[in-house]
Amino acid sequence: MAACALAIALVGLGFWTLIRRRNVIWKLLGLNVAAGGAILFLVAIAHRPGAHPAIVGLGPGPTADPLPHALVLTAIVIHFATLALSLVYVIVLTERRHSQDVHKLEEDR
Amino acid sequence: MKWAAPMAVLGIVVLVAVGTWSLFPRPEVPPWEEATAVWGAENAVAAIVLGARLWDTLFEILVYAMAMVGVRLVLRPLWRTGSVPPLAETPLLRRAADVLLGPIVVFSVYLAASGHLGPGGGFPAGALLGSGLLLLALAKGADRLGGELHEPALERGEYGAIALLLAVGGGVLFFGWKGGSLCVGLNFLIAVEVAIGAWVVLHQFTRTRGEV
């Protein structure tokens, strides 16, 4: 429950940064924080009270839901790849326009 | 207008909170032991990633490879030829690389080889190997390491790993191949792919550094 609340707070904080900041790199950082919140949310909803990971031979008792864990794997890798690609475009933008401010980039084209 | 963005954020957060609330009580975990054993694995996450949701994993690898191709294609025209500011070198990092690089490589091979039996798998192994390369680059200097690692050979290795991955994945998807050794092979190919991709990002980003 606390982890779910923290995840929602992280997503809110990330979206806030994504929308309110004017620097492109800060926007990407906000997206990064929001993605971290999403990953934490998936891990949190996989949890059961007193559970152990879904691996054979860890003894009786409740196990965590393995499907959100698999989704987290996808989320982390894709997030890394897209973040690298978007940072590349920030590099190109900085080379060509010498600015990372969104308002400035939109004004003088 | 000034309050539009905060209201949007608040709306999203409230939506997510309501959605979360409807998740409780959480559903029962289905019996996963038999389904895991069918794929020749003991780790249910590995059975999902390499078995039941293999389409997902294959296209994830393709998205990853496409992103790395994009990084390469977009950044290569921007490589600075002459005046690249040098990276700082410290003896601390050099000693750390001496001590840690061997265990990092061995542990990443172990993670890839045992990912279907316990915690681990191809993606953590590749990320670990990429972090080892990052440590080596910090200790030796990224430019020197980039000169020593043969870039076209790495590129060929990456595309070869993708081709093999698609071939083995096609066997699993269309011919019904199953078993633990297939999981190990897929995990190793994924690890190679992820590690080379991480090295591509690291190398391209350090080659384009400099003042604006």
pLDDT in tens, B127-169: 999 999 988 888 887 778 888 888 888 889 999 999 999 999 9
DSSP assigned state of A99: -
- Which domain range does residue B15 map to? 4-207
- Tally of domains within chain B: 1
Helix (H, G, I), strand (E, B) or coil at A23: strand
- Joined together, the tokens standing for residue A71 give 């989704």
Would you list the DSSP string of B8-73?
HHHHHHHHHHHHHHTTPSPPPPP--HHHHHHTT-SBHHHHIIIIITHHHHHHHHHHHHHHHHHHHH
A84/B201 CB distance under 8 A: yes
Q: Is residue B66 part of a domain?
A: yes
- Which domain range does residue A76 map to? 2-107
Would you list the DSSP string of A34-89?
HHHHHHHHHHHHH--TT-B-SBTTS-SS-B--HHHHHHHHHHHHHHHHHHHHHHHH
B118/A12 CB distance under 8 A: no
Rounded Cα distance between A7 and B16, Å, is 10
Q: Is any Cβ of chain B less than 8 angstroms from the Cβ of A101?
A: no
* pTM for this entry: 0.88
| Chain centroid, CA B97 distance in Å | 21
Rounded Cα distance between A34 and A46, Å, is 19
Identify the closest residue of chain A to B33 by CA–CA distance: A56
- Joined together, the tokens standing for residue B157 give 């290795």
ipTM of the complex: 0.88
- Tally of domains within chain A: 1
Q: Is any Cβ of chain A less than 8 angstroms from the Cβ of B7?
A: no
Largest CA distance in chain A: 65
**Which CATH number does the domain housing residue A16 bear?**
1.10.287.3510
Beta bridge partners of A23: A101
Tens digit of each residue's pLDDT, chain A (109 residues):
788 889 888 988 998 898 888 999 999 999 999 999 999 988 988 888 888 888 888 878 888 889 999 999 989 999 999 999 999 999 888 888 888 888 888 886 6
Q: Is residue B32 part of a domain?
A: yes
Residues 147-166 of chain B with CB under 8 A from chain A are none
Nearest chain A CA: its distance from B212 CA (Å): 7
